Amino acid sequence: AQSVTQPDIHITVSEGASLELRCNYSYGATPYLFWYVQSPGQGLQLLLKYFSGDTLVQGIKGFEAEFKRSQSSFNLRKPSVHWSDAAEYFCAVYGQNFVFGPGTRLSVLP
């Protein structure tokens, strides 16, 4: 069965600082991996996805993620966080359907 863990429930960073959100997955085959962002009062928006090929994938809003098969990880990164990045972030793995992680809430200090 597929599963996703996000070890950090809540992260706070200062504006302009770098960011890394962790995601670990369990899946028996080569996974399709996704990161979604949910702003307050909004639905989920796709940030980026990985299917195959280059293990470093670029997404919208300056985000990137790196797939590491040996660590079963797909961590999300951003070099310089903006106040508008404050939101909840979900990692997901796709098998027959999506399985979402519990989410990481990001707060940004001015």
Partner 1 sequence: DADVTQTPRNRITKTGKRIMLECSQTKGHDRMYWYRQDPGLGLRLIYYSFDVKDINKGEISDGYSVSRQAQAKFSLSLESAIPNQTALYFCATSDYPGGVRGYTFGSGTRLTVV
Per rule CB under 8 A, count of chain residues that contact partner 1:
21
Q: Is 101 among the residues that bind partner 1 (CB under 8 A)?
A: yes
Question: Which residue carries 């999300």 as its tokens?
Answer: 76
Q: Is 12 among the residues that bind partner 1 (CB under 8 A)?
A: no
Q: Compute the distance between CA of residue 37 and CA of residue 86 in angstroms, rounded to an integer.
A: 10
List the interface residues with partner 1, window 28-87 (CB under 8 A).
32, 34, 36, 41-46, 49, 51
Q: Compute the distance between CA of residue 67 and CA of residue 33 in angstroms, rounded to an integer.
A: 8
Apex CA 3: angle with CA 58 and CA 80, to 5°?
Answer: 30
CB 16 → partner 1: shortest distance, Å? 29
Which span (11-19, 52-60, 72-80, 96-104) binds partner 1, by CB under 8 A?
96-104
